[in-house]
Amino acid sequence: MVRLYSMVLTLLGLTVLVFLMLRLVPGTVVEQMIGADAVVSPAMVAELKRFFGLDQPWWLQYARWLGALAHGDLGTSWRTGKPVASLILERLPVTFELTLLSVGFALLLGVPAGIVSAARRDHAVDNVTRIGALLGLSVPVFWQGTMLILFFSIYLRWMPPVMWVDFLTDPRRNLTIMVLPALCLGTASAANIARTTRAGMLDVLRSEYIRTAAAKGLSRRLVILKHALKNALIPIVTVAGLQVGILLGGTVVVEEVFTLPGVGRLVLWSIYQRDYPLTQSTILFIAVMFMTINLVVDLLYGVLDPRIRYSA
């Protein structure tokens, strides 16, 4: 219950932050519509501002938006005239698919790399893994995405031009299109998961019960995968859960680089168009997903470790 209260308060603070920060961006939807060189009378500009409610005090605009949210209304896009909820739902499958593929790539690469690195501490494979993790955390996503496009699509011509195809329409082409974006988005997360897995495994491998299990004649692989990994899962799950939220935010950049029609690209378009209702509600929607994932991760602790109990 306390977590739910904190989520509500956090979302309330986020609504204020997003609302005010958007108003700090120079220009409004009116300037975007009429253009910089258009000759429009002041009366027409005033009428357009009145139409969008921009002539009202900021606190009144915020109160109206918050009241609509309280009734489950995300608003209507100023530029398209469509409900914000429908625009989000149209693009949500793309973002979900990209996030899930990125998380899958990060886990498949990060967890085994961390286990091997911990099991072979101070060996060549450990040093290579640590350097690779450092590089994965250091390379900017937009630069990596650009390099992947240049190398695989333009130089090698292995990847087709990005003409979006839904998974249900053509699964093979869809996955072919999503390989590079998922690889780009999941690299930093894989590095984070590998470092966390290595640290957790090293801590567990120094425990007495691990030495006891090894002394009883159990194979090293069994000791590492069955006994050590199980007890090192909590920090791994924590980081993996946080990475899902981070990946949701990272889709904003990756979807723009790879021209994917997802929620992240919708946010960038709405900011450029100064479409306040669409921008505000979409960012809030992403924040709700991020907080929900964190809540699920917290609840998983009790499943992974029976000693953890939550109180209301």
d(CA 174, CA 163): 9
Lowest mean per-residue pLDDT among 1-15, 86-100, 257-271: 1-15
pLDDT score recorded for residue 35: 65
Cα(114)–Cα(193) distance, integer angstroms = 7
Write down the pTM of the prediction.
0.82
Per-residue model confidence (pLDDT) at position 89: 92
> Class of 87-304 per CATH?
mainly alpha
pLDDT tens for each residue of 105-151: 999 998 899 888 888 888 888 888 888 888 888 888 888 888 888 88
Q: Which tens digit of pLDDT belongs to each residue from 276-298?
A: 999 999 999 888 888 888 788 77
As a whole number of angstroms, the distance between CA 27 and CA 76 comes to: 20
CB 196 within 8 A of CB 235: yes
Helix (H, G, I), strand (E, B) or coil at 76: strand
pLDDT at 84: 92
Provide the 8-state DSSP code for 227. I
For the cut 80, the answer to whether the pLDDT of residue 153 exceeds it is: no
State yes or no: pLDDT of 311 exceeds 70. no
Task: Give the per-residue pLDDT at 86.
Answer: 93
Tokens for 1?
Answer: 């219950």
Per the model's pLDDT, the better-predicted residue between 299 and 75 turns out to be 75
List the domain boundaries for the chain. Answer: 2-70, 87-304
DSSP assignment of 102-130 equals HHHHHHHHHHHHHHHHHHTTTSHHHHHHH
Query: Where does the chain show beta strands of DSSP type E?
Result: none
Q: What pLDDT score was predicted for residue 57? A: 86
What is the total residue count of the chain? 312
DSSP-assigned letter for residue 229: H
Interval 96-113 mean pLDDT: 90
Measured CA to CA, the distance from residue 160 to residue 156 in angstroms comes to: 11
The tens digit of pLDDT for each residue in 63-72 reads 998 888 888 8
Range picked from 23-32, 57-66, 247-256 for highest mean pLDDT: 57-66
Is residue 162 very low, low, confident or very high in pLDDT (cuts 50, 70, 90)? low
How far is it, in rounded angstroms, from Cα 236 to Cα 190?
Answer: 11
Helix, strand and coil in the chain, % to nearest 5: 75, 0, 25
> What are the two backbone dihedrals, phi and then psi, of residue 169, each rounded to the nearest 5 degrees?
-75, -50
Instruction: Please tell me the distance from the alpha carbon of residue 203 to that of residue 198, in angstroms, as a whole number.
Output: 9
Distance CA(249)–CA(292), nearest Å, equals 14
Q: Which has the higher per-residue pLDDT, 181 or 48?
A: 181
